[in-house]
């Protein structure tokens, strides 16, 4: 089995940064009314700027596949071209279509030579699944290079028009003509972008990150769905698929909007995340003293202090000076966020050879988690 190194990193954030005051103008109001949830959500998540693949008139400027292609091209030069890529593994939670797969569409945009492709589905963990597939392919000797990453284009999901039919329907039933908080919540949380890594079996250049191991844990056997789209959630926690819902109800129920059950989010996301981290630490005999940088993907700074307290409760307290996040500047880009954190940490110039970096990525869709350990080489 061979060692595996992240030898190059790249990111792409479309268009100009969008401030909190500009968000609703770009995404559009629902039923002509300002969101009641926006200020509350933004105050808690503390994101200051984010990026959208839409112009000032709300028109798309990039597809998800095109965003991914831009990030991948940032890895390329005369010594490593798109024709040299042997494996393309790319995850997303917001594919442009149900079929073909996301990686197939990215390959179509990128062109280059024939290559194996892999398209993990899901939400935030899809990027880590994409990375692990490349990691295992290099480690086993199947390939000598892999381009792995994630991209998101959720802005199309977040536009006010997605919810208009539901609001009108609720109004006719003399119910509150406002969007349910579970649906409005995510409109002010998520944004667009892409990140990509080049994996190789030998170091290249000055800064390389050796992937020591990657662990994934799912708690879907214990917990019901939390974040979902293309379905409607029933009172018993089960989902009814879009293809079992009458077409006439798709708009009335905002079936294709992105939704989150905030009730079970707060109760479980940190507890299960730290449980998975403790398992990985025991499995690989790693202590907090071994870790130099702690990179947790959290959707909101609302969870930062709460995560610290949960770590402390489980006797794996990570000192604040080891934490690194760039959520406030780049936004919550779902599966891409961990790629942006690693790219940002490298760009900070803080890393020294031998430093150990712990990654933890949660996925609230049905509570999946990834932990990984990297060593600076």
Residue 161 confidence (pLDDT) = 67
DSSP one-letter code for 323: B
Query: Of 188, 216, 220, 184, which Cα lies nearest the Cα of 365?
Result: 220
Q: Which of 207, 226, 257 is the last residue of a domain?
A: 207
* Cis status of the peptide bond prior to 100, with omega within 30 of 0: yes
Taking only the tens place, the pLDDT of each residue in 341-372 is: 999 999 999 999 999 999 999 999 999 999 99
The residue ranges of DSSP E strands in 29-182, in sequence order, are 49-50, 87-91, 116-118, 146-152
Do both 190 and 239 map to the same domain? no
Do both 243 and 329 map to the same domain? yes
Do both 161 and 266 map to the same domain? no
Enter the pTM of the model: 0.93
**Which residues, given as ranges, of the chain have pLDDT below 50?**
170, 173-179
CATH number at residue 131: 3.40.47.10
Residues 6+ apart with CB under 8 A from 304: 298, 325
**Which residue is associated with the tokens 């479980």?**
268
Do both 105 and 252 map to the same domain? no
Query: Of 71, 355, 322, 1, which Cα lies nearest the Cα of 209?
Result: 355
């Amino acid at each position: 089995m061979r060692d595996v190194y992240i030898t190059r990193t790249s990111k792409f954030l479309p268009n100009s940064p969008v401030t909190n005051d500009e968000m609703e103008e770009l995404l559009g109001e629902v039923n002509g009314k300002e969101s009641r949830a926006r200020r509350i959500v933004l105050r808690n998540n503390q994101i200051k700027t984010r990026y959208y693949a839409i112009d000032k008139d709300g028109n798309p400027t990039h597809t998800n596949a095109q965003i991914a292609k831009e990030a991948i091209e940032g890895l390329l030069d005369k010594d490593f071209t798109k024709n040299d890529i042997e494996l393309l593994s790319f995850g997303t939670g917001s594919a442009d279509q149900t079929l073909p797969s996301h990686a197939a569409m990215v390959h179509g945009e990128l062109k280059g030579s024939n290559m194996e492709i892999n398209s993990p589905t899901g939400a935030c963990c899809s990027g880590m699944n994409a990375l692990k597939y490349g990691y295992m392919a290099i480690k086993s000797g199947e390939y000598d290079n892999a381009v792995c990453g994630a991209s998101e284009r959720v802005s199309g999901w977040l536009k006010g028009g997605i919810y208009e039919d539901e609001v009108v329907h609720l109004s006719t039933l003399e119910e509150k003509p406002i969007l349910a908080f579970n649906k409005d919540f995510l409109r002010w949380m998520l944004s667009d972008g892409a990140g990509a890594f080049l994996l190789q079996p030998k170091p290249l250049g000055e800064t390389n990150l050796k992937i020591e191991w990657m662990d994934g844990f799912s708690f879907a056997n214990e917990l019901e769905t939390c974040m979902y789209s293309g379905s409607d959630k029933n009172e018993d926690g089960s989902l009814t698929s879009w293809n079992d819902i009458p077409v006439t109800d798709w708009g009335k129920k905002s079936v294709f909007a992105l939704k989150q059950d905030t009730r079970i989010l707060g109760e479980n996301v940190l507890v299960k995340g730290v449980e998975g981290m403790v398992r990985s630490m025991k499995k690989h005999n790693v202590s907090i003293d071994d870790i130099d940088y702690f990179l947790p993907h959290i959707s909101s700074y609302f969870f930062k202090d709460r995560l610290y307290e949960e770590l402390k409760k489980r006797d794996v307290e990570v000192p604040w000076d080891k934490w690194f996040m760039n959520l406030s500047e780049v936004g919550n880009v779902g599966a891409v966020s961990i790629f942006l954190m690693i790219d940002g940490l490298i760009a900070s110039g803080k890393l020294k050879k031998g430093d150990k970096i712990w990654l933890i990525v949660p996925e609230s869709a049905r509570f999946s988690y990834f932990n990984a350990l990297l060593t600076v080489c």
